[in-house]
Amino acid sequence: MPKVVDHEDRRQRLAEAVWELTLREGLEGVTLRKVAAEAGVSMGQVQHYHASREEMVRDAVTRAVAALNARIETSVKAAAAGEETSAEVILRECLYAMLGRDEEGARLLRLSVAVFGRAVSDPALARVMAPDDGELLDLTAGLIAGARAERGKQVAGDPRVDADICWALATGLGVDVALGLRTVEAAETVLGYHLEGVLGRE
């Protein structure tokens, strides 16, 4: 009976306004009025789609996490579909995706770090940011094992722990990149150096 609108589209637009504001002014700078202005809608509409500011932010963060996961998945598929379908290429592509090479990646990376900060004192947010239950780790461990086999070098070490380290290292480098303490290229070089050690130096 009502005016028919695309709810998902509305929420996504609001979420993107929250992202933009968070990047520009931090999570504390996200207010109902500013989000409305940023999205170019009335404050009434914002309230209509979110019961409270807190819920609005949570929705925006949830969507950001989903977008980040989607990007990793996409980059893996893109690498796997290329002519070079070696495990090593996929592994690199997958890890580098976390360092914010392109613009959207950089935005999501900086957004993640901004949310990390708030999640320290907000368990609800921390839960939203929590990584997948080992699925990604399994995938990465498989890629590491595969890449080692490709190189034909014998390397001691549990692939799962090595995968864990790779992601933790990517996180640490990502923080530096997000804060402007390191360029993306420098971070990729460091991560590449580490991978050489993990896969067995040629």
Partner DNA sequence: GCCAATACAATGCGCTTGCATTGTATTGAG
Partner DNA sequence: CTCAATACAATGCAAGCGCATTGTATTGGC
Chain residues that interact with DNA, rule: CB under 7 A: 1-5, 7, 10, 30-34, 41-45, 47-49, 51-54
d(CA 193, CA 181): 19
Pick from a copy of itself, DNA, none: which does 91 bind, CB < 5 to 8 A by kind? none
Pick from 24, 42, 23: nearest CA to 32 = 42
Angle between helices 184-199 and 87-96 (to 10 degrees): 140
| Burial category of 64 from C-beta neighbours within 10 Å (exposed 0-12, middle 13-18, buried 19 and up) | buried
| Binds a copy of itself by CB under 8 A, chosen from 58, 62, 116, 151 | 116
| Binds a copy of itself by CB under 8 A, chosen from 4, 7, 121, 133 | 121
**Binding to a copy of itself, residues 78-107 (CB under 8 A):** none
- Distance in Å, CB of 82 to DNA, minimum: 42
Residue 201 found at the interface with a copy of itself (CB under 8 A): yes
The answer to whether 114 touches 26, Cβ cutoff 8 Å, is: yes
Q: Choose between 11 and 20: whose C-beta lies nearer to a copy of itself.
A: 20
Between vectors from CA 63 to CA 125 and to CA 12, what angle results, nearest 5°?
Answer: 130
Pick from 177, 191, 144: nearest CA to 163 = 144
Pick from DNA, a copy of itself, none: which does 201 bind, CB < 5 to 8 A by kind? a copy of itself
- Binding residues for a copy of itself, rule: CB under 8 A, are 22-29, 110, 113-123, 126, 129-131, 156-158, 161, 164-165, 167-176, 178-181, 190, 193-194, 197-198, 201
